[in-house]
């Protein structure tokens, strides 16, 4: 609690004020930095107008009248350079901490020169009177935004000098007692008036800073509460989508029926909540469209099961919706809605990614600088899946979608969880393992390697243990697939002449990967990728360990 103030609220914590300063030393330090920023325009105006221009005018007048000419070198070589240095400190951020001391030092020197010039000249108003007026004016102009102690230290030297001169003039009979009293009164009045103004401005400045910080704190609190509410709402919606997906999958798997539906066209309304914008891709299982959600105009991707699709295949489609709704991560595609269309076809709605798939960027494979950030994203997404108890089982370039972050760098997101293993869904024996997965793009495929068959995955990216069947696959199989993807992205070619799965099916041991050019990759990155490709699952690192080696954590 501050001196003379009411009890502080949480927003005011750390902002308690005494009469002259903030109670918290940290707050006081931050205030002084803020105060300097606020003082910049005042000091620039005062130094240019009341400094440079005024002294140039004074020099012009001196030369015109032919008096006090001996002061010209002092003004040109001392006063003006000090004022210009003070001005420079207002423009150079690295010099800001010297701004207020420089301003007051320039004020001190200028004040001493004024006192010297006035006492050397002959003035009809009296030497002391004119000096007092000039001192008071200069003090009020130059020290308005300085802190009180700096202002006092800047003014005191020439004020004391003038008082000493007045005392000597009184002693030597150059002025009478009345003149001495009047001049002293003017000097002290000017000083006190300037100091009072300065103190009031400092108090107002501190209260202004305090109020700004309180408002900022309240805004941050509101933003945090809003973000917390949004997270809670998102979690609740995700829970509802996941539960609906599971119920839908169970119902469709039991039904074992087929659906046939015409594809929507751009401009069509879909399920009363979306407007179709354009088609993104089409495959044997269905199609993907860009849609606009009518409630908030957000653009999303609609994945729709179409054609003759069995209930078992649709159930696996629902599995993808459940996983995408339950597991949230920046490097995983999120599912925001799921249901049955008016024509009876299962659909899901997910976040829209505009950059296509990693498969579509094969021309850039071998570019290490481009590929490393994407691999870090894939590793982070895979680690998040494994932490949630999900095994992807079909990690490949076609199932990595590319977006861009706020700085324009590529951002990888893992998609397509249709054959993933997740909780009790893995026990659903009615899910058809022969159905192909359907990504959000339709890249060119190699017919002999990229179709998903009985082994639940894509042979080119499958671990050797997959030869024993889909239920033998665990997190280590995903890590092996990541190793294949990473090897291709960083080198431009596959690590083995023949897919590891086909080698295992032939009963042969897995050969060592094709060596990686040691100059192309850091040793830690090369070692962890080669470890991912180990034949024995026990020798492969975890996804989290891969993240650490790639610098993603």
285 and 383 share a domain?
no
Asked whether 333 and 413 are in contact (CB, 8 A), the reply is yes
> In this model, does residue 108 exceed pLDDT 70?
yes
- For residue 3, with 0-12 CB atoms within 10 Å meaning exposed, 13-18 middle and 19 or more buried, which class applies? exposed
> So what's the pLDDT on residue 368?
92
Could you tell me the pLDDT band of residue 125, with boundaries at 50, 70 and 90? very low
**Helix (DSSP H) and strand (DSSP E) numbers for the chain:** 14, 10
The answer to whether position 230 is within a domain reads: no
Q: Where are the alpha helices (DSSP H) in 365-413?
A: 368-387
The answer to whether position 5 is within a domain reads: no
Task: Round to whole Å and give the CA distance between 4 and 6.
Answer: 7
Q: Please give the mean pLDDT across all residues of the chain.
A: 80
> In this model, does residue 308 exceed pLDDT 70?
no
SS3 415: coil
Asked whether 189 and 136 are in contact (CB, 8 A), the reply is yes
Residue 88 has, within 13 A of its CA and on its CB side, a CA count of: 9
Q: What angle do CA 372, 374, 375 make, to 5 degrees?
A: 65
The region of weakest confidence among 237-241, 323-327, 356-360, 407-411 is 237-241
Residues 6 or more apart whose Cβ sits within 8 Å of residue 238: 325, 326, 328
372 and 338 share a domain?
no
Overall number of domains in the chain: 3
Over residues 379-392, mean pLDDT: 93
SS3 420: coil
Strand partners, 347: 304, 339
**In this structure, how many other beta carbons lie within 10 angstroms of the beta carbon of residue 38?**
13
What residue has token string 């000597």? 168
Over residues 181-195, mean pLDDT: 83
The answer to whether position 160 is within a domain reads: yes
**In this structure, how many other beta carbons lie within 10 angstroms of the beta carbon of residue 150?**
18
Asked whether 429 and 309 are in contact (CB, 8 A), the reply is no
Residue 140 has, within 13 A of its CA and on its CB side, a CA count of: 16
346 and 429 share a domain?
no
Q: What angle do CA 110, 131, 203 make, to 5 degrees?
A: 65
318 and 366 share a domain?
no
Over residues 492-521, mean pLDDT: 89
Q: What is the DSSP string of 90-103?
A: HH-GGGGGGHHHHH
Domain that holds residue 480: 355-439+453-553
Say which CATH number the domain at 333 has. Answer: 3.30.200.20
Q: What angle do CA 317, 322, 327 make, to 5 degrees?
A: 130
Question: Phi/psi at 289 (nearest 5 deg)?
Answer: -130, 150
Task: Round to whole Å and give the CA distance between 85 and 38.
Answer: 19
Say which CATH number the domain at 382 has. Answer: 1.10.510.10
**Tokens read off for 547:** 């993240």
Task: Round to whole Å and give the CA distance between 306 and 84.
Answer: 77
528 and 550 share a domain?
yes
392 and 344 share a domain?
no
Instruction: Identify the CA nearest to 166 among candidates 153, 158, 111.
Output: 158
Task: Round to whole Å and give the CA distance between 245 and 425.
Answer: 11
The answer to whether position 198 is within a domain reads: yes
The region of weakest confidence among 136-145, 165-174, 401-410 is 136-145
340 and 270 share a domain?
yes
The answer to whether position 68 is within a domain reads: yes
DSSP type of residue 259: B
The answer to whether position 135 is within a domain reads: yes
Over residues 346-350, mean pLDDT: 85
* Higher-confidence position of 471 and 356: 356
287 and 330 share a domain?
yes
Over residues 50-78, mean pLDDT: 91
Domain end position, chosen among 202, 221, 240? 221
422 and 543 share a domain?
yes
Domain end position, chosen among 322, 352, 382? 352
Task: Round to whole Å and give the CA distance between 135 and 130.
Answer: 9
193 and 159 share a domain?
yes
Task: Round to whole Å and give the CA distance between 182 and 51.
Answer: 28
17 and 79 share a domain?
yes
Instruction: Identify the CA nearest to 109 among candidates 89, 86, 132.
Output: 86
> In this model, does residue 221 exceed pLDDT 90?
no
Strand partners, 292: 275, 299
Strand partners, 259: 309
In three-state form (DSSP H/G/I as H, E/B as E, the rest C), the secondary structure along 122-147 is: CCCCCHHHHHHHHHHHHHHHHCCCCC
SS3 341: coil
> In this model, does residue 390 exceed pLDDT 50?
yes
The region of weakest confidence among 204-208, 253-257, 315-319 is 253-257
Query: How large a percentage of the chain has pLDDT more than 70?
Result: 77
Domain end position, chosen among 221, 242, 269? 221
- For residue 188, with 0-12 CB atoms within 10 Å meaning exposed, 13-18 middle and 19 or more buried, which class applies? middle
Report CA-CA distances (Å) from 533 to 15, 485, 496, 501: 58, 10, 10, 12
The answer to whether position 241 is within a domain reads: no
The region of weakest confidence among 122-126, 519-523, 539-543 is 122-126
3-state helix, strand and coil shares in percent for the chain, rounded to the nearest 5: 60, 10, 30
406 and 548 share a domain?
yes
> So what's the pLDDT on residue 532?
96
Residue 500 has, within 13 A of its CA and on its CB side, a CA count of: 27
Over residues 161-186, mean pLDDT: 87
The answer to whether position 261 is within a domain reads: yes
Q: Assign residue 247 a region (left: φ > 0; alpha: ψ between -120 and 50; beta: otherwise).
A: alpha
SS3 350: strand
């Amino acid at each position: 609690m501050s001196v003379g103030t009411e009890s502080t609220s949480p927003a005011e914590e750390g902002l308690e004020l005494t009469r002259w300063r903030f109670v918290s030393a940290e707050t006081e330090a931050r205030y002084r930095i803020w105060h300097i920023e606020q003082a910049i325009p005042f000091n620039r105006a005062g130094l240019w107008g009341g400094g440079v221009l005024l002294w140039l005018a004074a020099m012009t007048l001196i030369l015109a009248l032919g008096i006090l000419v001996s002061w010209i070198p002092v003004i040109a070589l001392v006063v003006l350079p000090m004022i210009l240095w003070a001005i420079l400190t207002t423009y150079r951020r690295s010099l800001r901490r010297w701004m207020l001391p420089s301003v007051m030092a320039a004020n001190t020197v200028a004040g001493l020169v004024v006192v010297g010039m006035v006492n050397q000249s002959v003035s009809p108003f009296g030497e002391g009177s004119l000096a007092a007026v000039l001192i008071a004016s200069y003090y009020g102009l130059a020290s308005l935004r300085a802190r009180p102690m700096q202002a006092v230290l800047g003014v005191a030297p020439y004020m004391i000098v003038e008082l000493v001169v007045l005392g000597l003039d009184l002693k030597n009979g150059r002025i009478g007692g009345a003149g001495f009293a009047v001049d002293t009164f003017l000097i002290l009045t000017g000083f006190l008036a300037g100091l009072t103004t300065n103190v009031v401005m400092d108090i107002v400045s501190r209260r202004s800073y305090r109020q700004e910080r309180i408002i900022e704190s309240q805004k941050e609190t509101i933003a945090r509460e809003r973000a917390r509410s949004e997270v809670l709402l998102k979690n609740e919606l995700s829970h509802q989508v996941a539960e609906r997906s599971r119920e839908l999958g169970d119902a469709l798997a039991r039904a074992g029926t087929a659906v046939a539906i015409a594809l929507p066209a751009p401009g069509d309304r879909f399920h009363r909540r979306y407007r179709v914008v354009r088609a993104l891709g089409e495959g044997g299982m269905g199609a993907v469209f860009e849609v606009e959600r009518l409630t908030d105009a957000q653009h999303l991707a609609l994945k729709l099961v179409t054609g003759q699709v069995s209930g078992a295949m649709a159930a696996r489609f629902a599995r993808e919706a459940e996983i995408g709704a339950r597991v949230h991560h920046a490097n995983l595609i999120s599912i925001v809605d799921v249901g049955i269309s008016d024509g009876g076809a299962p659909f899901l709605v997910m976040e829209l990614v505009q950059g296509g798939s990693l498969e579509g960027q094969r021309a850039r494979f071998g570019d290490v600088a481009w590929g490393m950030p994407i691999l870090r994203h894939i590793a982070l997404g895979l680690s998040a899946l494994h932490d949630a108890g999900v095994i992807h089982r079909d990690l490949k370039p076609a199932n990595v979608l590319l977006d861009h972050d706020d700085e324009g760098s590529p951002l990888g997101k893992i998609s397509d969880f249709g054959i993933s293993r997740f909780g009790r869904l893995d026990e659903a024996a009615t899910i058809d393992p022969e159905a192909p997965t359907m990504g959000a793009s339709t890249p060119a495929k190699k017919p002999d390697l990229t179709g998903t068959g009985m082994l639940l995955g894509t042979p080119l990216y499958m671990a050797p243990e997959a030869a024993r069947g889909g239920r033998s696959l665990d997190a280590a199989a995903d890590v092996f697939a990541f190793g294949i993807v990473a090897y291709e992205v960083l080198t431009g070619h596959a690590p083995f002449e023949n897919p590891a799965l086909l080698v295992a099916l032939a009963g042969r041991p897995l050969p060592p990967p094709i060596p990686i050019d040691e100059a192309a990759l850091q040793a830690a990155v090369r070692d962890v990728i080669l470890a991912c490709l180990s034949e024995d699952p026990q020798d492969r690192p975890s996804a989290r360990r891969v993240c650490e080696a790639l610098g993603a954590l």
